[in-house]
Structure 1
Amino acid sequence: MTAVGMAQAAEPLGCVEVSVAGYKAPDYNCLSRQMGNNPEGTAAAKSNQEAQDVPVDKRPPNQLGLATPAATSTRMGSTFGTSVKPQRPAPDSATLPLLGR
């Protein structure tokens, strides 16, 4: 094989982006290969998976969709612990919708 043939057989360093009629089409296979061969990326993916594998009983309540005392206190306002209805400001009469008359 000649030097030219060897150069053509080697994988290109960059990916080729083709433009047809103003539409750019990148080479997704090339981009996937570049992203998939990163040893640091595999370590990061493993670390992310381990972080997501925390047992349910060890997760904080806000990640499980449960109410926390702080969130309930914020939602209820000054009526927290005294009423079942959350605190709401008095309606502004200027912003009431017009009746169908």
Structure 2
Amino acid sequence: MNQLWNLAAGMLLIAGLPLAQAEDASGCVEVSVAGYKAPDYNCLSQQMGNNPDGAAAAQKNREAMNVPIDKRPPNQVGLATPAATGTRMGNTFGTSVKPQRPPAP
């Protein structure tokens, strides 16, 4: 009788394993330690990475980052802009060729 009971309990456990595994595969586990929640970033990344349009979006992002040099703003190319020059020159911008400096001690 005891062996039959153990066999039935074992069969129930084996039958419940696929259900437990299916629950873990569908969602991510969030762990809380001392009040701090730590989500499973690997699981979240996998869920976000299964987007079929993700490759097209990544390609568009790469194309947007490759702007020709003649279309870039001057501060990205290293050219001086009026705002940057005004900051560098101080109150002498437009009136002198020497930048504003504090008096020597």
Q: The TM-score by the shorter chain falls in which range?
A: 0.5 to 0.7
Pairing 1:17–2:30 present: yes
* 1:26 aligned residue: 39
2:57 and 2:82 mapped to 1: Cα distance?
Answer: 34
* TM-score w.r.t. length of structure 1: 0.56
The alignment yields a C-alpha RMSD, in angstroms, of: 3.5
Pairwise mapping of residues 11-90 of structure 1 onto structure 2 (< 5 A)? 11-12=25-26, 14-20=27-33, 22=34, 23-73=36-86, 75-76=88-89, 79-87=92-100
Structure 2, unaligned runs of 5 or more: 1-14
Give the aligned partner of residue 18 of structure 2. Answer: 5
CA distance in 2, matches of 1:29, 1:9: 18
After TM superposition, what 4+ stretches of structure 1 lie above 4 angstroms from structure 2?
87-90
The two structures have a TM-score, normalised by structure 2, of 0.55
CA separation of 1:88/1:39 partners in 2, compared to 1, >3 Å: closer, same or farther? farther
Alignment deviations for residues 12-56 of structure 1 (CA, whole Å, 9 cap, x no partner):
1x3111224x25332222111012112344433322211111123
- 2:64 partner SS: helix
SS in 2 for 1:39: coil
CA distance in 1, matches of 2:90, 2:39: 53
Q: In structure 2, what is the Cα distance between the partners aligned to 1:85 and 1:44?
A: 50
Query: What is the identity percentage for the equivalent residue pairs of Structure 1 and Structure 2?
Result: 75
Structure (1 or 2) with the greater helix fraction: 2
Which has the larger Rg?
2
